[in-house]
Amino acid sequence: MLPEAFLQRMKAQLGPEYGAFLESLERPRAVALRFNPLKGERPTLPFAGQPVPWEPAGVYYDPEARPGLHVYHEAGVYYLQEASAMAPVALLDPQPGERVCDLCAAPGGKTTQIAGRMLGRGFLLCNEINPKRAKILSRNIERMAVPNALVTNEHPETLARRFPGYFDRVLVDAPCSGEGMFRKEEAAVADWSEETVAMCARRQGEILNSAAKLVRPGGRLVYSTCTFAPEEDEGAVAAFLEAHPEFTPEPVEAPWFVPGENASYRLWPHKLLGEGHFAAVLRKTGGETGEISVKQGETLPKQWDIFARELGIRLPAGKAVSFGQSLFWAPEELSEIHGLKVLRPGLELGTVKKERFEPAHALALWLRSCANVQDYGENSEEIKAYLHGDVVPSERKGWCLVRSGGYSIGWGKGDGRVLKNHYPKGLRR
């Protein structure tokens, strides 16, 4: 039961295509996932189907399958993501070594998609203003083995003041009225109203104003929503361009999407396998490049040196940063984080405890291999017991990287007979 005001607007908006649009909302949803390049070669999965045309790492999967329960999901080998939601990052086109900001990043689908394209190189700032959603974002950054991300829980304007003219690419996947999710989420229908659309448009304008300050001269800004409302889509872009003459529309190669004005693109559910989405690509042609205060790195403690030498672990370019009780390995370009609400400043290595080093779960997920590895089959009783939190049989001694099907999933500590389980309690099944 879709809102009558919504239906009348869509009828006027789509004209002769309105009937096909309504029919598409009655069809079963197409579901998709995206493989994670940071975990190495993609596995062969029986439930994986045809590729998502606009995302090389994306595939549709059998709706009857439950890939979220597979051990590879826990290992961060893939992320369950709606196909159309993969489009904005395809248009953003982030590259390894760049500075990239995802301003409205939770729960982490687009951020981890960006991270996969950056291949662990460069600086990724991912932010979420809602504290609870920011924690979910941080957990997904960990699960997907992202080493070069600063995760913050800040107001966009705060970040604009701290990182003026700094980023090569900025994504604003803005909170919206969610019309494109009507087929997927009943709550989106219940929460919809014309007042909500107007409220979202105002909020999107504020976020875009902050985002404009983050982009360096020559940088790219991609604005996206999962709604059909022109006020939140083309209208928001037109208002932004009028207020920010330093930006111009930038047409890009996007043959799968319906082009619109100001280098905007629409994804219609009656034209492709996916939900509704909107995106616009903008280039900053003026302004000044900003300077930031870079955080000083620390000396890695001897406990880490001993641990890393024993397991043959080599870290990429970066710097050590203490944060809370943990030691992190941060991107070289990490700014001074004092005064920011930070959840994660990089790759968590672990904690120093007297004369020993205790590795973090994030480090295990990031590693592909090391000098002490125990591999269990993806459907084995051992890996099921490990995910449950039980001890598992192994002849390994000391800290041991537990893998399944060649993909790292956590730590164990062996005595030559069994591995003591170090899989985080909050993740155990």
Catalytic residue ranges: 226
Residue 96 preceded by cis peptide, ω within 30: no
Distance CA 206, CA 246 (A): 17
Q: CB within 8 A of 145, min separation 6: which ones?
A: 36, 38, 39, 76, 362, 365, 366
Q: Which two tokens stand for residue 70?
A: 């597979």
Q: Is 373 helix (H, G, I), strand (E, B) or coil?
A: strand
- Amino acid at site 55: E
How are the residues of the chain apportioned to helix, strand and coil, as percentages rounded to the nearest 5?
30, 25, 40
Element (H, E) at 267: strand 264-267
And the tokens for 147?
Answer: 């080493």
φ, ψ of residue 208 in degrees (nearest 5): -65, -35
Q: Are 118 and 95 in contact (CB under 8 A)?
A: yes
Residues paired with 152 in a beta bridge: 127, 342
Residue 325's CB: how many other CB atoms inside 10 A? 9
